[in-house]
């Protein structure tokens, strides 16, 4: 066991911003806990994560697309040979895997944006309900 009674130490349940990720690791369970811990969702952080997902998807495409093009060119230069057919099959497999990964990363970014929008919408509705400001 590490420091704090967990295998990874007492800080293992926190993200970089100090938000408790796993209340079972000790301390409070969210807003209003005796030791002041709180759990919150910041739409700006979700949007930053969505932007990071977009950057990762773009960087991945820039790195992988030329490599796949090179493998296909090598396969074409070895047409008629078993290794050429194998290279073409490998390129097809990697293309399918890359396209699936690219779609998933893009979908993660979209879902993070949707989550940020949903939290802002919800916070606005709560504000309206408690303030009586139904015009906002």
CA distance 69 to 71: 6
pLDDT per residue of the chain (136 residues) written in tens, 0 to 9: 344 444 444 434 444 444 444 444 444 334 444 555 666 789 999 999 999 999 999 999 999 999 999 999 999 999 999 999 999 999 999 999 999 999 999 999 999 999 999 999 998 888 888 887 666 5
CATH of 43-131, one of 1.10.357, 1.10.287, 1.25.40, 1.10.10: 1.10.287
Per-domain boundaries in the chain: 1-40, 43-131
What's the whole-model pTM score? Answer: 0.62
């Amino acid at each position: 066991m590490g420091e704090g009674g967990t295998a990874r130490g007492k800080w293992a349940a926190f993200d970089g911003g100090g938000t408790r990720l796993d209340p079972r690791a000790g301390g409070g369970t969210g807003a209003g806990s005796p030791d002041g811990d709180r759990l919150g969702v910041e739409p700006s952080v979700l949007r930053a994560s969505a932007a990071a997902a977009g950057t990762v998807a773009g960087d991945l495409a820039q790195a992988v697309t030329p490599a796949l093009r090179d493998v296909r060119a090598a396969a074409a230069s070895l047409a008629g040979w078993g290794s050429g057919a194998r290279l073409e099959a490998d390129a097809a497999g990697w293309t399918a895997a890359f396209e699936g990964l690219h779609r998933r990363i893009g979908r993660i970014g979209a879902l993070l944006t949707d989550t940020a929008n949903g939290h802002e919408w919800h916070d606005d509705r709560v504000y309206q309900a408690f303030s009586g400001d139904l015009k906002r």
